[in-house]
Amino acid sequence: MTLVDLSTPPAPDPAAGLLDALPRRVALTLPELRCVAEHAGGAPLPFDVHEPAPAGEGGLESRLGRSRGSAEDEARAAAMAALHEPVGSLTRRGLLADGVPDEGLAGAVGLLAVPDVALDLDVAVRTGGGPLRARAWHRQAGGAVATLATIDGVAFELAWFPAAHWPTELARVAVLPEDHESGGSSVPAHVDLPYELADAAAEAVRSSRPDLLAVLAAQEGATVRGGDGTPYDVADVLDLLAGLSGEAQGRLRALVADTSGEETTVVGVVSWVLLADGWHALRPYRERGTGSARVEVRRVEPAELGPLLAPVLAEVTR
């Protein structure tokens, strides 16, 4: 397998044509995506589609009223019903001719089906317009990468490009919506604390017991330190715990798997949390000497997702 360098964006290649150097993107509806996969030899898609079951008369929902989930299912069903017939739509767009899909399109769908490396990304963000969730599937084999992404499960973006462009494409996943408002955070740009302390603080906030944060800060404050190793005082630890547990506005999870063999092996997970001032990477680790579980929390930018994933991907490609 080819080792992919995600530490820096690619440098321009003067020998390559402009169009060859750019990723190609195609917007597809779910029926169009399924149609392309079927005409590309029945290539499997990287996700399962579960159609909502029709509500039976006299069922629980008819007695208790519509749930939020049922309303979303109805809206999705209405959106699906309004879509164009896939074969005719793809043909008009020049993506399907005589039952044969566009060569690049078919290759991208094929790569999604049989990659060497699989990277699944799940991003959830709370915005002014409500919660927003995006899913993306990145698949790599040799020097090529294909990606598939969606927000609503109805409209998808399919893209394919040389592996050198992967860092830039990964950064797009972590870019926040335009209506997301950022501000100041009580969590420092770089801090290191016991994993159990962070977990207990989060549980205290979830249980509506923020008063316990002061107790935790007094008991464990001496074990919290900055990125440079400087210890924190109790007041700063209390602010940090309150921010880390109460400011959360979203999360990003990236799961890397080795799919080159007969069995799929999960290699590692990268997790970010969205706080008031933006993304913060969470890196759990075992402290040398003591073996105690700790977590490093560091402020990051979307462009850092590729470099942070590089060591995990290197476990697959080495």
pLDDT value of position 316? 74
Banded pLDDT at 241 (limits 50, 70, 90): very high
Q: Distance between CA atoms of 280 and 249, rounded to whole angstroms?
A: 11
Report domain extents, the chain: 1-50+57-185+247-318
Cβ proximity of 237 and 214 under 8 Å: no
Mean pLDDT of the 58-86 span: 63
For residue range 31-44, list pLDDT tens digits in order: 999 999 999 999 99
pLDDT value of position 267? 86
For residue range 210-232, list pLDDT tens digits in order: 889 999 999 888 899 998 888 99
Least confident of 114-118, 125-129, 254-258: 125-129
Closest CA to 193 of 157, 164, 231: 231
Burial of 38 (0-12, 13-18, 19+ CB in 10 A): middle
Cβ proximity of 277 and 184 under 8 Å: yes
The residue among 289 and 169 whose pLDDT is bigger is 169
**CA 13 to mean position of chain CA atoms:** 29
Q: Distance between CA atoms of 65 and 189, rounded to whole angstroms?
A: 46
Rounded alpha-carbon distances, angstroms, from residue 7 to 3, 118, 144, 237, 252? 12, 18, 17, 33, 19
pLDDT at residue 19 above 60?
A: no
Q: Distance between CA atoms of 67 and 5, rounded to whole angstroms?
A: 46
Mean pLDDT of the 141-148 span: 93
For residue range 259-318, list pLDDT tens digits in order: 988 888 888 899 999 999 999 999 999 998 888 999 999 999 999 999 999 888 887 766
pLDDT at residue 83 above 80?
A: no
Cβ proximity of 235 and 214 under 8 Å: no
Banded pLDDT at 59 (limits 50, 70, 90): low
**Global pTM?**
0.83
